[in-house]
Amino acid sequence: MKHIYLNLKRFDISPANGGVNRIAPMKEWAKYIVDNTQENLKHYNNCEFVMYMPEAHLIGAVNTLKSGTPLEIGCQGVYRADTAVGGNFGAFTTNRTANAAKEIGCSSVIIGHCEERNDKMGLLAEAGVVGKEATKVVNRILNQEIKVAEQAGLKVLYCIGEKSEELDVWDSVLGEQLEIGLDGVNKNNIVIAYEPIWSIGPGKTPAGKDYITKIAKFVKEKTGGIDIVYGGGLKADNAKMLASIDEIDGGLIALTRFSGEIGFYPEEYLEIIALYLN
């Protein structure tokens, strides 16, 4: 099966406030995106489509889904603990639990995105925990998040990746993220997203086909064949190249336009999917 994921990050903020939402009024944002994509996605067989929405828009997105749609809605992270019968009844102020996401109508969650990893590393640095010990702690916390997500019935897109200063030891970095992050989890509920952090962003050289293929083969060997998607940004420019890599099972889309009025646009999202799947 192929997997196409869409991470809408904080794209629900208007340009007046530093954001990139130019497509719809804020209260209609999620509805507009779902309405303008779900029917067209029915044209594709054997492909999973998941949109990860900011928390304020999850209910609106779920309520916009039509019967028979191939589109699923997911959340952008879950807390490492959760409610339980006879246990914690919901004392998790500021933290979204997996059970809450499931009851809202989410079916999937993205865990370990480089932005989440950076946030956790920053918190540990404030406490004086840095270097290899900090990365191990982060991987252990992400492992806890995966387990509570699975317990709640959510599928997981687990992100891994190496930074520029880790290129010489990429195999040990990614190997540790996989070994610790996936320890004791049900791998049938997991898809891996590979983020070449060193190549993401303006002015950086994108990862090439040979490098991506090398990583994908490594991940499949380490995990026993778990599906892996390219998390460095599935775009119109690289869709055909990624589609030509047998070991890559899909991609993670964020921005669809990288110049001019940058941002996410539904029609461009559908164009990228057509380029990749056709």
Catalytic positions, written as ranges = 113, 195
Structural element, H or E, at residue 73? strand 71-75
Encoded tokens for 141: 């916390």
Q: Could you tell me if 159 and 231 are in contact, meaning their C-beta atoms sit under 8 angstroms apart?
A: yes
Q: Could you tell me if 185 and 139 are in contact, meaning their C-beta atoms sit under 8 angstroms apart?
A: no
With residues binned 3-state (H G I as helix, E B as strand, rest as coil), the percentages for the chain, rounded to 5, are 45, 15, 40
Most distant pair of Cα atoms in the chain: their distance: 54
* Of residues 179, 276, 271, the one with CA closest to residue 218: 179
The DSSP output letter for 86 is T
